[in-house]
Chain A
Amino acid sequence: MINLNINNQRVSVQQGTTVLEAARKLNIKIPTLCNHSDLCVAGNCRVCVVEQTGARTLIAACAMPVSEGMDIHTNTLKVRNARKHIVELLLSEHRSDCTKCYKNQKCELQALANEFAFGDTIFLDLVEDHQYTIDRSSPSFIKDDSKCIHCQRCVRTCTQLQQISAIAVANKGAHQKISSFHDRPMSHVVCTNCGQCVNRCPTGALVEKTYIDQVWDAIYDPEKHVVVQTAPAVRVALGEDLGYDPGERVTGKMVTALRQLGFDSVLDTDFTADLTIMEEGTELLTRLKKILVDGNKELSLPMFTSCSPGWIKFIEHKYPEFLSNLSTCKSPQQMFGALAKTYYAQKRKIDPAKIVSVSVMPCTAKKYEADRPEMRASGYKDIDFVLTTRELAVMIKQAGLDFKNLESSNYDSIMGDSTGAAVIFGATGGVMEAALRTAYEIITGREVPFKNLNITPVRGMEGVKEATVKIEGCTDDWKFLEGAELKVAIAHGLVNANKLMREVREGKSPYHFVEIMACPGGCIGGGGQPIPTSMEIRKNRMKAIYSEDEHMVLRKSHENPDVIAIYKEFLGKPNSHVSHELLHTHYTERDNF
């Protein structure tokens, strides 16, 4: 243990601890900007400078490891003056149109300015000297360089967590900036639109592209029938933007709120999550049969899930040679969109041209996905507008709803039913668990051999998880699988996806079925979820997801009554012709830069 003094208080910490961490142990707050618990230390904003007795310069608390006998002071005049200067310098490069900024009151620079830089401005305004670009090319997010404070959290996110490096630091000195490949528009580079950078940007330099006004317009248009779907991960995170602690489930209140906002029908993406299991499970079993029994050489394993649009764009850019390994299933959002303007429209006798289909997603990539040209199976744009969890919270605030005191209510019927299997889609490993619950039962006629249906090996925050399920006692149709060991793997965060994909490329992958989610923790850690994010917050959301599952009466996708009904009335059976037309898609090879 290392002993040191901070503000004359003694603290003992492990070797390798930083001064910042040691100060936190004493509940001494040192301001930070470039620091983020998910990312490696940068030490470049310098807001966290503190005074070390005997040192020639101030030290960056986030980057300085403790040493025995250190004497640190966090609030001397020298420190305060330097901090004020640093915040003022950042402000001088930053377009401070705070009152109009989407991040107003949620901006970390603004908060620091409020503490250190109120009153007269010291320095000259440099904003006009810089020819800042505002890149609105992506349907998912806006990159506004005039708000950038060069903390490089986004770059570290894109490199360290996602291993894409669609953005990097470019140029030097006064011209240093965060840039895509040679300043190309973000819509034309390897970016997956995952939004993890948006989640970690301390200012308004990276924000989602909002569609709030368009959705209000639709709601107030008497000609339009506006349906809304909510993804599983939204209900365990929305509360964070509305005054709850991370991990609070607010499903019922959210449904009431959506109804009060004026949506004509409040439906659940869970329904198409269950449908995805039926389609994807069948696709997997069919693929296994074709390869193992029929000796089909054109198909190969593993088969990859396709629910995460960030992951889809990743593989299209980085591993296009494996596009045929992807399940052809659309994501639950897009299945829902295609059915809303066909099946739902027919059942409710509404002209699909008058339906506006809105989804609330924990995701920014879903905005891009909805814009893909393939996603018009209904004859219309299947999903009109995608809102993030954050945008929904904004709308709830705009409408003046007293969220905490809303009564709970249930989703509307037709495409509103859910199972526990669908709910867990929101966490890494959830799709796999849901698929196994159903597939095992199809093959053997029995429930998966895990206590309470909880397939724990596929759960948790480990980057790559794997599991083997031995198949025994097959029904007659599936005898060819008797005694087989189904090997599955799960990866979340594209850095982990990359690990698995390298194995696949090298021919070393032993798996039959692989679930990949672009975001750390799966959708609960999605790029559209409330800010801030951290491992602890994601774990709380994950806990809430599994608790929601445990509280459901139905916990297997094939038992969802709405799903049973749609096959009976509309789709026929999984992977039918109609299914293929509406619920399946194809992929496009893209450039790797």
Chain B
Amino acid sequence: MENKGLSKVDLIFEKVDPKEVLIKAFKMTSDEIIKQMLDSGLKGRGGAGFPTGLKWKYTAAEKEPVKYIVCNADEGEPGTFKDREILDKVSYKVYGGMAIAGKAIGARNGIVYLRGEYRFLLPQLMKELESFHKMISEIGYDFKINYCLGSGAYICGEESALFESVEGGRGEPRNKPPYPTTSGVFGKPTSINNVETLVTTMMIIKHGAAKFTELGTKDSRGSKVFSVSGDTPTPGIFELELGMTVQQFVNEFGDGDTKAVQVGGASGFCVPRKKFQNTIIGFEGVPTGGSMKLFNSSRSMYNVLHNYLDFFAEESCGQCTPCRVGCQQLLKGVEKVKKGEAKSTYLNELIKLADTMKIASKCGLGQSVGNAFRTIVENFREEIIY
């Protein structure tokens, strides 16, 4: 097991001269930029971890004259708040990343989809965008970014649901294929990337792919911004090199009594104390969009599970059967078991249901409800039953 230990990194929030990086990028060909991304091994920072270079490559290969680069700033995963901080502190790097992506895929238009909960940031972000547009026209490059504002729907973080929302509809995920790289927003080839991913691409251009691959492990290159909350003396936002174990993370952030860490938010995995040592935070272990919630022994994992299930039952878009009804059944099911109105063995039926949801739901939301469910029920069964 490759283990890098815990070390803090300053890449995402590092001050750079955006003009310099962009001029460098615009001198490169599309293929050269994409090659840098592929070489860097960068995987998407929103949680799903699709290789960014591949996404750009596929979108670049499309023949359509109009393409889009979309920045996914619909950070709704419970426990994640790093994109807000990135936008607040270094939005120019987000815009820069979008311009670089635009150059790579052949898009002249960018859209930032900002979650409604972050509307208070909008005036500042628009001002910074104005400066960015000015700078980019000084360079003599044609690229324009627009903002779309969400209105409180977790599912809009799912890429195709986000497109539906941008197009003025209900944020309901689409059938795939076609994938966004072929038919995304407004039916055009689209590369949709997370806020942090875009910033990282700019830093890869600045420092070069080789430098980036020095950080992290084979499966999880680079560093990542973590949102740390829960039972910790030091909650906040931390950029860390990828490849540490949960134990190393807990040693740094725990309160000395950590019994579980929920990695990746409500749609992520619960790691119990006995597995801290052997679990790597990264794509080879537990992947995360950055949400790290620590729970100490005073917490009821039933409450945690119930909170997540309640969240999913509300935030499912409701269109597909496994997710709409499955979430309600899981929620009501654990309530019954907790109250002693259903046998503890009913949890086994619910785990099977969670497995069905994982393979039969239409999108990532329904497919990932089972992650927290299974890992909490399996590891803290005694806390769930009556």
Contact = CB atoms under 8 A, between A and B. Distances in A.
Contacts of B312: 173
Interface stretch (A87-95, A212-220, A382-390): A87-95
Interface of A is mostly: loop
A60 B175 contact: yes
Which residue of A42, A89, A171 has the most chain B CB atoms within 10 A of its CB atom? A89
Contacts of A89: 321-322, 325-326, 329
Interface string B350-375: 00110010111110000100000000
B69 interface: no
A255 to B, nearest CB: 46
Nearest to A85: B356
A172 B175 contact: no
A152 interface: yes
Contacts of A47: 321
B321 A86 contact: yes
A553 interface: no
Contact of A43 (B170, B175, B326): B175
A93 B321 CA distance: 10
Contacts of B328: 93, 126, 129, 174
Given A92-B329, A150-B319, A173-B317, A46 B352 contact: no
A65 interface: yes
Interface string A23-59: 0000000000000000001111111010000001110
A415 B73 CA distance: 70
Contacts of B237: none
Contacts of A172: 153, 155, 170, 314-318
Contacts of A93: 325, 328
Contact of B170 (A60, A123, A169): A169
Contact of B321 (A63, A90, A122, A175): A90
Given A90-B325, A126-B329, A172-B316, A85 B353 contact: yes
A474 interface: no
B367 to A, nearest CB: 7
Interface string A81-108: 1100110011011000000000000000
B360 A176 contact: no
Contact of A124 (B175, B320, B333): B333
A78 interface: yes
| Contact count band on B | 35 or more
Contact of A46 (B317, B322, B332, B336): B322
A542 B313 CA distance: 47
A174 B322 contact: no
A126 B325 contact: yes
Given A57-B367, A126-B325, A126-B329, A174 B314 contact: yes
Given A57-B367, A58-B359, A44 B315 contact: no
B12 to A, nearest CB: 30
Given A57-B367, A85-B356, A124 B332 contact: yes
B350 to A, nearest CB: 9
B324 interface: yes
B349 interface: yes
B249 to A, nearest CB: 28
Contact of A44 (B177, B320, B327, B342): B320
Nearest to A170: B170
Which residue of A46, A49, A56 has the most chain B CB atoms within 10 A of its CB atom? A46
A421 B175 CA distance: 47
B320 A174 contact: no
B161 to A, nearest CB: 10
Interface string B170-187: 101001010000000000
Nearest to B341: A124
A75 to B, nearest CB: 15
A271 B332 CA distance: 60
Nearest to A81: B356
A150 B324 contact: yes
Contacts of B321: 44-47, 86, 89-90, 149-150
A171 to B, nearest CB: 7
Contacts of B349: 122
B337 to A, nearest CB: 11
18 contacts: A41-B175, A42-B319, A43-B362, A46-B322, A46-B361, A65-B177, A81-B356, A82-B322, A82-B359, A86-B322, A90-B321, A93-B325, A126-B329, A172-B170, A173-B315, A174-B328, A176-B316, A176-B317
Going nearest first, the 8 A-B pairs with the smallest beta carbon separation are A176-B318, A89-B325, A63-B175, A85-B356, A43-B175, A44-B319, A173-B316, A82-B360
Given A89-B329, A150-B318, A173-B314, 20 more contacts: A43-B320, A45-B320, A47-B321, A49-B359, A49-B360, A57-B359, A64-B177, A86-B321, A89-B326, A92-B325, A93-B325, A93-B328, A123-B329, A124-B332, A124-B333, A171-B318, A172-B314, A172-B316, A174-B316, A176-B319
